[in-house]
Amino acid sequence: MNQPAVTTWSEDEQAFRMAIREFAESVIKPKVHEMDKNQQMDPEIVQQLFQMGLMGIETPEKFGGSASSFTMACIAIEELARIDGSVSVLCDVQNTLVTNAFLNYANESLQDKYLPKLAQEWVGAYALSESGSGSDAFALGLKAEDKGDKYVLNGHKLWITNGKEASVFLVFANLNPEAGYKGITGFVVEKDFPGFSVGKKEDKLGIRASSTCELLFENCEVPKDNVIGEVGKGYKIAIETLNEGRIGIGAQMVGIAQGAYEAALNYVQGREQFGKPLAKFQGIQFQLAEMRTELEAAKLMVYNAARLKDSGESFIQEAAMAKLFSSQAAEKITSLAIDLFGGNGFTTEYPVEKFWRDAKIGQIYEGTSNMQKQTIAKMELDR
C-alpha cells in the first residue's frame, strides 16, 4: 500500500516556486482582466512561458527542455493558477498531457521531431473529446482510414483546450470501428496538414482566455510515420496520460483556491463594519478556518499523487482522489471568498468572481467528478 508523501520542499523547488510567483505577479496579473474580458490569451505571455522553460518542464535537455520533475510541473501549474487559471491550463495541457504522451509513447523519430518544438516554440493540444464522446471517452466518431502511404481522418473534435494557439495536436481516431476501443489510434497532426482546420472557439463561463475549440477533419492527410505508440493502442495512451493529467488539474484547482483565499484574507483584514475589521468577527474567522483547512488538504493530496508519480509508484487512485477533492474544495473556497467580499465580490472590479468562474471547470474536464468517484470505488473494491 502506498504511503502518504510528506509535502516538504527542496531548496530547488522553493526557488522555482518563488520564480514562477514573481513572474505571475509581475507579468500575468496586470493582463488578467483584459484577457478574461476579451477571451484572448496574450501571445507575449505564451512566448514568455517558453522563454522561462515552463512549456517543457519534464522534457530532457537534449530536446531543449528543463529536464525536471512532474512535481515541478505541478508547482508551476499551481502558481500560475494562483493568478490566472487560463494561463495555468495552457501550461498544464502542454506538460502533463501532450509532452508526457510524447515522452512515454512516441518513437525516437517523433520525439526528435516534435519534443524540441514543444519545449521551445510550439503549443500542443490533446484532442480526445467529441460531441458524443465525453465521459464515454472511447465512443469516438472521428474515423481514420489507411490509404497505403498515409492515413486520412474524417470527423470533428470538440472542447479542445489550446485549440487556437496550438501548432501540433495529439488526435485520437478509430482506425477499425469494428474492433471498438481496440481500433483507437493516436495520431500527431500539425495545424497546416491538408484537410485540418480549427473551428469555432467556445464562449465559456470561466477560463475564458483559454481557447476551447472545435477541430475539423475533412480528408485530413496524416503521414504514416505520425502514429504515436502502436496502431490500435490509442486507448491505452489516452487512459494513462489522463491519469497523469488529473494531478495537473488538481494543482490548477489548488492554485485557484489559493488565489481566492489570499484575496479574501486580505480583504477581511482591511474591510471594517460595526467599527472593526471583518476579521475580528468569530463567524468570519470560522469561514477562514474552513477555507484554509480544505486548501491544505487539497494541496497535500495533489502533491502526494505527484510525488508517487515521480517515484514510479502506483498513483491512479491518488490522482483521482486529488482531482475530485481539489476541484470540490476550489469551488467551495472561491464561493466563500465571494461571500466574504459581500456585494464587492459580485463585481468584476474584484478578483474573486473570476476565481469562482474558473474553478467550476475542475469538476468537469479531464474526467468529471462522477468518473473520479467511479475510479476510486472500483480500485477499492478490486483490492
Catalytic residue numbers, as ranges: 366
Cα radius of gyration (the chain) = 21
- What residue type is assigned to position 40 of the chain? Q
Instruction: State the DSSP code for 197.
Output: E
Rounded CA gap, 291 and 81, in Å?
A: 17
Rounded CA gap, 133 and 136, in Å?
A: 5
Environment class of 369 (CB within 10 Å of its CB; exposed 0-12, middle 13-18, buried 19+): middle
3-state SS class at 135: coil
Environment class of 200 (CB within 10 Å of its CB; exposed 0-12, middle 13-18, buried 19+): exposed
3-state SS class at 129: coil
Contact 256/355 with Cβ under 8 angstroms? yes
Instruction: State the DSSP code for 312.
Output: T
> What's the grid cell of residue 325?
477533492
Residue matched to cell numbers 482582466:
33
Rounded CA gap, 208 and 204, in Å?
A: 6
Contact 7/298 with Cβ under 8 angstroms? no
Q: Which long-range contacts (CB under 8 A, 24 or more apart) does 37-40 make?
A: 38/209, 39/201, 39/203, 39/204, 39/208, 39/209, 40/209
> What's the grid cell of residue 353?
468572481
* Secondary structure percentages of the chain, helix, strand, coil, to 5: 60, 15, 25
- What residue type is assigned to position 363 of the chain? Q
Q: 75, 74, 54, 76: which is closest to 64 by C-alpha?
A: 54
- What residue type is assigned to position 333 of the chain? I
Residue 54, φ and ψ in degrees, nearest 5: -90, 0
